Structure formats: C-alpha cells, structure tokens
Amino acid sequence: FPVTIAVPERCFTPIGNDPNTFQGVLDGNKKVICGLTIKLPTTDYVGLIGYMVNGTVKDLGMEDCNIQGYRYVGCMIGMADGSSLITTSYSTGLVWGGNGDLGGLMGLLANGTAENIYSTAHVILDSGMQHGDTAALVGDMWGGTMNYGYSIGLVDCPHNSNPTAADYPNNQGRCGGTLSRSSGNPVSELYYNVETSGRVISLPGEVGDAPGIPKTTIELKSPATFSGWDTTNIWTISTGIVTGK
C-alpha cells in the first residue's frame, strides 16, 4: 500500500445507505485513504461505505480515520450483506458508535465473506449504552464467513473487560476482541491482542460462537502463530509485525 490519498476534514456522506445500497466494486489497487472524517452521531450505516449489498471491497487501506455514527459503524464499512466480499484490506484510527454493531473495520457482516483483513483502530461504544455488539475488527456477524484476520486496537465499552453472562442479558450486546459474536457461522484464524484490546476474554453468547482467539503481543509477533496464512501472496511478516503486502 505505497500510495496515500489524503482526505481533508469535511462533511463526507457515506457511500450507500438504506435503501440505496452500494452494490459495486471498490478496488483500492493497494492505495491508502488517509484521514477520512465522518461525524454523524445520530445516523445508522456510517463508514466510507455505509451499506453494501452484493458488493466488493479489496486491496484498500484506510489510515487515521475518525468515524462517528449511531449503529452499523466502521471505518471502512457500516454493514455488508448479500454475497459481499471484503478482502485484503485494513484500517487504523478511531471509530465511535452510539448503539452498537460497530467495529474498527466493519460494523456488521450480515452475510458475505470477510477474509485477510486487520485493524488497529480504537473502538468506542458510547458511555450511555450498557450493551451493544462491539469489537476491534468486525462488530457483529449474523451470517457469512470470516477468515484470516486480526486486531490490536483498544475496545472501550461501558461494562468491564472480563465479562460474564450477567453483562449480556438475553445474549445481547457483547463487547469482544476481534469479533463480538459469530452467531454460529464459520470463522477461522481470527486473533486479537489480549494485552492492548482491553478485552480479557470474548464471551461466546450462542452455541457455536467463535468470537476470536486471544493472543499476547509476543504471540502476534511470532511467525508460528500465522503458519496457515498465505505469507507468499497476501501477508508479510517483517520485524515481528504481520501486515498486508
């Protein structure tokens, strides 16, 4: 991702909403969008792409984003559904949400595939919300598949960092590391930094949930952790840090 596209601070309207969803292909061609700021604290579907159905985002980096929305909020995508594909992409910066379904890269994967993604973004759930599905990479997952991803960003939620079932009445409002919940859908090779995320554990809320595997900083710098990842074509391990090529 050697080329950066700077975005000045201004009122940016997310691409796609409900019912006017984004259904195209955004090929970043290994470019970086830097400094995108969106401040819509009472609006759902907020991110570079607000609501995507049967669309594709690939080979895109987003750095130093500052995103504020209400629900379905992420630096890159608020919500993805249908046969959407999100691949070989990453985010850094800050994401704030007022009512959950928010993540560092994407707020909600309702359906589709997310793979080979990562985020270092700091994610904040509004202090007035006791519950709301929130995580450092993808806030929530209702369907689809998610593979090969990690997060190291801090997740700020009103409740504590070592959750119990009492923190999540009726299995609602998990606050996780990489992912708040998988809803029983297939996921694999998803890691979060247990030392930097503020999440001691990710609490499975449903049978079959797999909300991410906690790893230490040392483990996330070890090539052995990523032995099954494609380090020839997609990922690079350099000075102990795993990034996209």
pLDDT in tens, the chain (245 residues): 555 556 655 568 999 999 999 999 999 999 999 999 999 999 999 999 999 999 999 999 999 999 999 999 999 999 999 999 999 999 999 999 998 899 999 999 999 999 999 999 999 998 776 567 889 999 999 999 999 999 999 988 876 555 555 555 544 557 778 888 887 788 899 999 989 988 755 554 444 456 788 899 999 989 899 999 998 999 988 765 566 66
Element (H, E) at 218: helix 217-220
Residue 128 and residue 161 in contact, taking contact as beta carbons nearer than 8 Å? no
Dihedrals φ, ψ of 169, to 5°?
-60, 135
CA 101 to chain centre: 10
Dihedrals φ, ψ of 219, to 5°?
-65, -35
| Predicted TM-score (pTM) of this structure | 0.89
Amino acid at 155: V
